[in-house]
Amino acid sequence: MAFRNSLAICLLLAVLGSISAGPLSARNPAAMAMLESIMKKSKWDSFVFSQEWPATVCSSSSRKCYFPENRNTWTVHGLWPSKSDGTYGPSNCETDAEFSEATLAPILDDLEKQWTDVFGESDEYSFWKHEWSKHGTCAAQLEALDSALKYFEKGLELNTNYNLTSIFLDSNIVPGNSYSLKQYTKAVESVTGAKSTVRCASKGSARVQEIRICFDKKFNVIDCFEDSNCHTKSINYEDNN
């Protein structure tokens, strides 16, 4: 897919260059708009890796929930190409990208346990298809992630390498108790060496729902640009029973 984008840019430049002199936008507005769109979608320099706590996700919604096999697991929400200037995106880089369920067969068991769609109204493939279409097709500009299988394998790898259940347990942070924002961030930073982002549930009492760890394109951990939305001194780590 990375080759495909590069080829598209080269072809568009060739077309534009073959047309008579004058401002590029005046020569061929449609081609210029397409080129600008491709260039915009290639301008990202980092990843946000988001893990969520199913207990809080579920208690924040009236929808029926399905917990992963191990209820103590922080599951993957997504792996999102982003910009270190503080903006998310790009997204939906290949609107016609195919998504085959068979492609994920080798890692299906792990996906069901670690990249769980906790809401049961739709099958899990629809959640994974959404993440691939919106974020994976942009991540696929990198050779290391240029297929759905590679993309989801990387998310599973990061979920294993940065196991938040273990990270918090090592810092004596356990479900059913409340902690300060600093305690959560310090626990994660003790492993990553960089600033993470703690996200709380948007409704109800202050409960930790999501942890975001950021990486450059080579998957070196970097500081996350986003501040926490948790604004209370005490943040509950919701019991998962």
**Active site residue: 69, 112, 121, 135, which one?**
135
CA distance 221 to 219: 6
Q: What CA–CA distance (Å, rounded) separates 127 from 104? A: 13
Helices 29-42 and 2-18: angle between axes, nearest 10 degrees: 150
Question: For this structure, is 226 an active site residue?
Answer: no
| CB burial string 70-89: b at 16+ within 10 A, e below | eeebbbbbbbbbbeeeeeeb
Instruction: State the Cα–Cα distance between residues 73 and 54, nearest whole angstrom.
Output: 8
Pick the catalytic residue from 36, 52, 69, 77: 77
Give which of 41, 35, 148 is closest to 92, Cα–Cα. 41
Active-site hit among 52, 124, 131, 153: 131
Which residues belong to the active site?
77, 131, 135
